[in-house]
């Protein structure tokens, strides 16, 4: 039973990994499970609405029940609930979008997104997942994890998203150490060319790192001369306030 649950989870995560539609053979190769077994499990997941099969082509995608599970997680997230006020305040203070994220496997998932306070069209990014090594949120979280946990992240997938993405474990380890020392992380076009991020960790009452809060926006605004330090101070101050709201010690 445990093995079946693990395989089902692997299949769902494969469908959520960035390629929205996959065939049985593709899934079998990704999760390293025989095709007949994958086919049987997909049929079971389909009956519960967790996956759907295309009429044309026969490929599989995540089903509507996954959204129900995701909404239930967001509704029950204390971090998300308590971050709303602080994130909105930081967005007004900096004029930039604010993301609050949690680590899920090797990715950071955005659980709250405070939009920029302007009239330009924006896309709500709640639910977006970014590889931990390619974003400031991920660096901020990793910098406050145990050495064993960081080592596990460094031995996981480290895809190159842009020409500036750090993929060398030694370089990433140095980056994590730098973030740990100064209290905030900076990402310079490592996930998307032209975009940058500044983030700080968020802690709960036990001192555990439960996520990170940060601003995202054009690199020329966030990392311009004299801007980074001012924005970083605002991000760190807000992350500390959110942590205190979650019961963390001063």
CATH at 50: 1.10.10.10
Percent share of the chain, pLDDT over 70: 99
Residue 240 has pLDDT above 70, yes or no: yes
Confirm whether 172 is domain-assigned.
yes
- State whether 61 and 153 are in the same domain: no
Is the domain of 179 the same as that of 201? yes
Say what the pLDDT of residue 198 is: 97
Tokens 């039973």 — which residue? 1
Q: Are residues 56 and 92 in the same domain?
A: no
Residue 14 pLDDT grade (very low, low, confident, very high; cuts 50, 70, 90): confident
pLDDT in tens, 156-182: 999 999 999 999 999 999 999 999 999
What's the structural domain count of the chain?
2
Q: For residue 236, give both structure tokens.
A: 């760190």
Q: Is the predicted pLDDT of residue 250 greater than 80, yes or no?
A: no
- Whether pLDDT at 75 is above 80: no
Contact 215, 198 (CB under 8 A): yes
| Percent of residues, the chain, with pLDDT higher than 90 | 58
For 12, 96, 198, the CA distances from 232, given in Å and listed in that order, are 36, 12, 6
Q: What is the pLDDT of residues 133-163, one digit of tens each?
A: 999 999 999 999 999 999 999 999 999 999 9
50 and 102, same domain (yes or no): no
- State phi, psi for 110 to the nearest 5 degrees: -80, 120
Q: How many CA atoms lie within 13 A of 30 on its CB side?
A: 22
**CA-based angle 74:78:79, to the nearest 5?**
85
How much is the pLDDT for 1?
Answer: 63
Q: Where does a domain end: 33, 50, 68?
A: 68
Tell me, yes or no, whether 132 and 220 share the same domain. Answer: yes
Judge whether 201 lies within some domain: yes
Q: Has residue 232 been placed in a domain? A: yes
Q: What is the mean pLDDT of residues 51-73?
A: 83
Query: Are 90 and 215 a contacting pair, CB within 8 Å?
Result: yes
Residue 110 placed within a domain: yes
Q: Please report which confidence band the pLDDT of residue 62 belongs to, taking 50, 70 and 90 as the band edges.
A: confident
Residues 27, 103 share a domain: no
CATH number, position 202: 3.30.450.40
Instruction: pLDDT band for 204, please (50, 70, 90 cuts).
Output: very high
Residue 64 lies in a domain: yes
**Mean pLDDT score, 177-192:** 95
Q: How far apart are CA 86 and CA 29, in angstroms?
A: 43
Residue 63's pLDDT is what? 86
Whether 98 and 49 share a structural domain: no
Is-contact 187 197, C-beta < 8 A?
Answer: yes
- The answer to whether residues 143 and 42 belong to one domain is no
Q: Is the pLDDT of residue 210 over 90?
A: yes
Residue 18 binned pLDDT confidence (cut-offs 50, 70, 90): low
Query: What mean pLDDT value characterizes the chain?
Result: 90
Which residues constitute the domain of residue 137?
Answer: 77-245
For the stretch 31-56, pLDDT in tens is 888 888 888 888 888 888 888 888 77
| Same-domain status, 87 and 167 | yes
Note the pLDDT of residue 174: 95
pLDDT score of 212: 97
In a domain? residue 250? no
- Are 51 and 18 in a shared domain? yes
What's the mean pLDDT in 196-219? 95
pLDDT for residue 231 is more than 90: yes
DSSP 119: S
Q: What is the DSSP letter of 142?
A: H
Backbone angles phi, psi at 100, to 5 degrees: -120, 125
Total Cβ atoms within 10 A of residue 226: 7
């Amino acid at each position: 039973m445990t093995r079946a649950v693990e395989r089902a989870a692997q299949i769902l995560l494969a469908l959520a990994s960035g390629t929205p539609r996959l065939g049985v053979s593709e899934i079998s190769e990704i999760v390293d499970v025989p095709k007949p077994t994958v086919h049987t499990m997909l049929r079971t997941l389909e009956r519960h609405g967790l996956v759907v099969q295309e009429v044309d082509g026969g490929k599989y995608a995540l089903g509507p029940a996954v959204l129900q599970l995701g909404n239930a997680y967001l509704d029950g997230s204390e971090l998300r609930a308590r971050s709303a006020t602080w994130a909105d305040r930081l967005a007004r203070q900096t004029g930039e979008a604010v993301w609050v994220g949690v680590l899920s496997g090797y990715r950071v998932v955005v659980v709250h997104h405070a939009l920029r306070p302007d009239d330009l069209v924006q896309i709500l990014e709640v639910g977006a997942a970014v590889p931990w090594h390619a974003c400031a949120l991920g660096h901020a979280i990793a910098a406050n994890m145990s050495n064993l946990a960081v080592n596990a992240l460094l031995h996981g997938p480290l895809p190159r998203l842009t020409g500036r993405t750090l993929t060398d474990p030694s370089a990433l380890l140095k980056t994590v150490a730098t973030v740990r020392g100064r209290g905030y992380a900076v990402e310079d076009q490592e996930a998307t060319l032209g975009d940058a991020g500044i983030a700080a960790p968020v802690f709960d009452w036990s001192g555990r790192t439960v996520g990170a809060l940060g601003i995202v926006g054009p690199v020329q605004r966030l990392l311009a001369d004299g801007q980074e330090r001012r924005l970083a101070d605002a991000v760190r101050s807000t992350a500390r306030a959110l942590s205190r709201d979650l019961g963390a010690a001063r």
